[in-house]
Amino acid sequence: MNELPIVVTCTDRKTHPPDPFLQARNLPETHLAGRVDHWAGHLAAARGALRELADLYQGDQWHRAQALAGAATRAGFTPRLYVASAGLGLSPVSRPAPSYSATFAPRHADSVASSITEAADWWDHLQRLQGAPNLSDLAGRHGGRILLVLSETYAQAMHRELTVLAAEGYDSVLIGGARDIAGITRIPANSGLRRALGGTLTSLNTRTAAAWLEHCTPGALLTPAAMDRWNAWVEQTAVPESYARTPMTDEEVIAFIREKCATLQPAPSRTRLLRMLRADNKACEQKRFADLYTRTMECR
């Protein structure tokens, strides 16, 4: 069947808000293993509406992640889509789950870790408790190949699994990620491709993955010819970005913060809000944005 497992990073945008006991911010202050145990217990006890992950996540990033299945099919594969989640571990998109809020993103209210090492420990412990497959399992059971589309933060949390995968000798391609790993072909995110690929930086990894699949040799994830085609295309296509963003008044920035905090669940962090603002080609100096964010939050 020429199956291709595709692993994508989850998104914090859900179709409905989570119950408080499935928000990582409400976990007890205890050692990491204890917090993971509490979290897994809450997942198992959830009695609210369960939805398949394919229908639980939303937003442009998730829409583009799902579109990878079509790109893989056109490239001659039978795709199998999986999600890497700080709340669920590694799961197929057909898995039913409650809405939740847990992330490896630093400084987020529902971040499960305060360091890269803690994030890796959380991932390993959660994977064991969930009985979830690891990356090597997926590649081995699906023909010895795997396509990984991971943010820097999630790739850091999953680095131990990535290292094990690299040693297996499978055809492994990592789009995005955090660093090069011998044994895995990595295609770093390239902002110079945004003009050709469209979208914001948030969905750049998934758009890059779709473009990679267009350059594959039909039915083969990784070949020297495909790499040559890709490198030639990038060289011809990439355009260094120049930022000519539109300045905003204090009132406009405050209105932006209020609107996003009112419509997004969970409420986005200050860092994510600034990224979103700049992705809209708007300008605000980082310290000024931080001061306006603090002022806005204190007045809520």
The tokens describing 157, both together, are 């949390």
Helix (H, G, I), strand (E, B) or coil at 252: helix
Q: Round to whole Å and give the CA distance between 127 and 284.
A: 40
Say if residues 99 and 48 touch (Cβ distance below 8 Å). yes
The string of DSSP codes covering 139-155 is HHHTTSEEEEEE-HHHH
What's at 81, amino acid-wise? L
For 84, phi and psi rounded to 5 degrees? -95, 115
Which pLDDT belongs to residue 199? Answer: 81
Q: Round to whole Å and give the CA distance between 52 and 92.
A: 9
∠ CA 261-264-121, nearest 5°, is 105
Which pLDDT belongs to residue 243? Answer: 59
pLDDT one digit per residue (tens) for the chain, 300 residues:
799 999 999 998 899 999 999 999 999 999 999 999 999 999 999 877 899 999 999 988 899 999 999 999 999 999 999 999 999 999 999 999 999 999 998 778 899 999 999 999 999 999 999 999 999 999 999 999 999 999 999 999 999 999 999 999 999 999 999 999 999 999 998 889 988 998 877 889 999 999 999 999 889 999 999 999 999 999 999 887 665 688 899 999 999 999 888 888 777 888 889 888 888 888 888 888 988 988 888 776
Global confidence as pTM? 0.81
Which pLDDT belongs to residue 1? Answer: 75
Say if residues 90 and 135 touch (Cβ distance below 8 Å). yes
What's at 106, amino acid-wise? P
The total number of residues shown for the chain amounts to 300
The tokens describing 211, both together, are 């473009």
CB proximity list for 287: less than 8 A, separation 6 or greater: none
Say if residues 57 and 13 touch (Cβ distance below 8 Å). yes
Which pLDDT belongs to residue 294? Answer: 84
CB proximity list for 117: less than 8 A, separation 6 or greater: none
Q: Which of 279, 289, 283, 205 is nearest to 11 (CA)?
A: 205
For 191, phi and psi rounded to 5 degrees? -65, -20
Residue 164: CB atoms within 10 Å: 13
Q: Is 32 exposed, middle or buried (0-12, 13-18, 19+ CB in 10 A)?
A: middle
What's at 39, amino acid-wise? W
